[in-house]
Amino acid sequence: RLYQISFEMPDCGEEPEPQTQHLVGDFSAPAEFFVTLGVFSFLYALAALVLYLRFHSLYGENKKLPFADFCVTICFAFLWLVAAAAWGKGLSDVKAATRPAGLIAAMGVCQGQEVVCNAGATPAMGLANISVVR
């Protein structure tokens, strides 16, 4: 399924009304995967904490339970690495779709010969980059 990100751009022509431009693409799947994995990790951590604190004797007596806990933790660690890579890819897709030069090229009003369009300042993506690294 395709999502549309809408934003308004001023029209420098005869009508001063802003025009709505649409970026077509699905940028939500990596973020949904990352958040879903985070929620499942949190729920597993709560369940493991209850197991460790409430049923400590069961955990100590059963030799398969610590190994199963270790295997689930390794799986979550691997999936967390995959989710972080997907989050980074999704962020780079959003950056590419919202690059100021690309947005200017999509504006019909900027296609004239006498028209000079300037993107202005490049959007700050520092916090988004940090979210991938952390």
List average pLDDT for each run of 10 residues in the chain, which is 134 residues long.
51 59 75 92 94 86 90 96 90 81 73 74 74 71
Nearest in space to 23 (alpha carbons), one of 79, 114, 91, 102 = 102
Q: pTM, whole model, 2 decimals?
A: 0.68
- Tell me what pLDDT residue 97 has: 78
- Tell me what pLDDT residue 76 has: 95
Q: Which long-range contacts (CB under 8 A, 24 or more apart) does 40-49 make?
A: 40/76, 41/76, 41/80, 44/72, 44/76
- Tell me what pLDDT residue 2 has: 42
- Tell me what pLDDT residue 15 has: 56
Tokens representing 89? 């890819």
Distances (CA, A) of 25 to 20, 83, 93, 95, 123: 16, 19, 9, 12, 20
- Tell me what pLDDT residue 8 has: 57
Q: How big is the CA angle at 25 (ends 6 and 133), to the nearest 5 degrees?
A: 95
